[in-house]
């Protein structure tokens, strides 16, 4: 037992994704074999507490199970780097860029990846350029589809913008592309040969959005993996997912989201800390390849230990 790896799971946080973070941590802890790992869970409720706890850590590695602001935007990663502590997932810069939807979109667009038309507005400058309906309104830096809405007219647009500003000081207004929704995980560090997981298709029970409730609480949402698609589309989704992972200098696990419409594949965003419950998208994709949830979690830990 003395050769067990000491691993600390940082979870909770104080963003709008706290509930999902706690669920992820619980599932990850259960998946780590007690014969290999000595697990400690720390609930981060404030930034000051995070610094205090991290400064005293004696762990071999930290598993970041903290979605949203502070955990996913590069802040927590910066603190861990300051104390030379290894951790799962991407570093500060990649995390910050991926969390900033507008910045991420501009970078992938510059590399030749198709994205929906979009514009960004700020709380102190809410000038909305002419935009066709329907359109998607989302906080620029938030996850789990919190604060995301679909607007069909100008009155709804104003309501959706107000809702999104409750989550962030910048709001993204995006062309609504009606089509099939896919997600694809990628795992590997920058020096590794990246491995794409089989794409998964998300089908919501009614036309609209794969929102927070549909993601975590709806029994009607279908997630089909592997997706029933052509080999050409499968390879294209996997290729762009790996390209985005590489482009942003991501590490460990990421998940990229897409819409396929009228024979065009639109990149939506990349997640650097995707959900890690046994029923989350990436674990389902790994399971389609015959990889168990404990094996999938352990692979991420081993990638962190290699850094």
Residue 228 phi, psi (nearest 5): -85, 85
pLDDT of residue 64: 98
Residue 244 phi, psi (nearest 5): -65, -45
Contacts of 54 (CB under 8 A, 6+ apart): 10, 62, 79, 80, 83, 85
Domains of the chain: 5-92 (3.40.50.20), 97-112+178-306 (3.30.470.20), 118-175 (3.30.1490.20)
pLDDT of residue 30: 96
pLDDT of residue 143: 61
Helices (H), 32-136: 47-55, 75-82, 92-99, 101-110
CA distances to 40, 121, 211, 226 from 146, in Å: 29, 18, 7, 26
Tokens of 228: 């029933």
Rounded Cα distance between 272 and 93, Å, is 11
Q: Tell me how crowded residue 260 is: count the other CB atoms within 10 A of its CB.
A: 20
Residue 122 phi, psi (nearest 5): -120, 155
pTM above 0.85, yes or no: yes
Find, among 50, 49, 103, the residue nearest to 80 by Cα. 50
pLDDT of residue 184: 98
Tokens of 107: 């970078």
Tokens of 83: 């104390």
Cβ atoms of residues 289 and 283 within 8 Å: no
pLDDT of residue 214: 44
What 3-state DSSP class applies to 272?
coil
Rounded Cα distance between 106 and 173, Å, is 14
Residue 80 phi, psi (nearest 5): -65, -40
pLDDT of residue 167: 86
Tokens of 68: 């949203």
Rounded Cα distance between 104 and 239, Å, is 17
- Tens of pLDDT, residue by residue, the chain (307 residues): 468 999 999 999 988 789 889 999 999 999 999 999 999 999 999 999 999 999 999 999 999 999 988 999 999 999 999 999 999 999 999 999 999 999 999 999 999 999 999 999 998 776 777 778 999 999 998 765 678 899 999 899 999 999 999 888 999 999 999 999 999 999 999 999 999 999 999 998 665 554 445 444 456 778 999 999 999 999 999 999 999 999 999 999 999 999 999 999 999 999 999 988 877 999 999 999 999 999 999 999 999 999 8
* Burial class, 137, CB count within 10 angstroms (exposed 0-12 / middle 13-18 / buried 19+): buried
pLDDT of residue 130: 72
Sheet holding 5-12, edge to edge: 37-44, 5-12, 61-65
pLDDT of residue 210: 47
Give all strands (DSSP E) within 66-207, no chain letters.
118-122, 135-139, 149-151, 170-175, 180-187, 195-196, 200-203
pLDDT of residue 153: 92
Rounded Cα distance between 243 and 221, Å, is 28
Find, among 241, 242, 249, 239, the residue nearest to 95 by Cα. 249
């Amino acid at each position: 037992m003395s050769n067990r790896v000491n691993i600390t799971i940082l979870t909770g946080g104080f963003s709008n994704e706290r509930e999902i973070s706690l669920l992820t941590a619980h599932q990850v802890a259960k998946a780590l074999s007690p014969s290999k790992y000595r697990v400690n869970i720390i609930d981060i409720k404030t930034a000051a507490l995070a610094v205090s706890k991290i400064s005293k850590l004696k762990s071999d590695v930290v598993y970041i199970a903290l979605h949203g602001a502070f955990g996913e935007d590069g802040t927590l990663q910066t603190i861990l780097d300051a104390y030379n502590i290894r951790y799962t997932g991407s570093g500060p810069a990649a995390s910050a860029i991926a969390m900033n939807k507008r910045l991420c979109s501009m970078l992938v667009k510059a590399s030749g990846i198709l994205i929906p038309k979009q514009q960004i507005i700020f709380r102190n400058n809410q000038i909305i350029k002419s935009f066709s309906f329907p359109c998607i309104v989302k906080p620029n830096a938030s996850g789990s589809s919190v604060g995301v809405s679909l607007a069909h007219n100008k009155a709804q647009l104003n309501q959706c913008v107000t809702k999104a500003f409750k989550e962030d000081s910048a709001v993204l207004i995006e062309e609504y592309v009606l089509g099939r929704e896919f997600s694809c995980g990628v795992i590997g560090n920058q020096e590794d040969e990246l491995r794409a997981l089989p794409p998964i298709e998300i089908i919501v029970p009614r036309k609209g959005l794969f929102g927070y409730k549909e993601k975590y609480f709806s029994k009607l949402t279908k997630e089909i993996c592997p997706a029933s698609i052509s080999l050409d589309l499968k390879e294209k989704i996997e290729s762009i997912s790996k390209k985005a992972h590489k482009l942003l200098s991501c590490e460990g696990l990421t998940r990229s989201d897409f819409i396929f419409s009228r024979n065009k594949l639109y990149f939506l965003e990349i997640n650097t800390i995707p959900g890690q419950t046994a029923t989350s998208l990436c674990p389902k994709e790994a399971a389609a390849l015959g990889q168990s949830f404990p094996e999938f979690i352990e692979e991420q830990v081993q990638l962190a230990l290699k850094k």
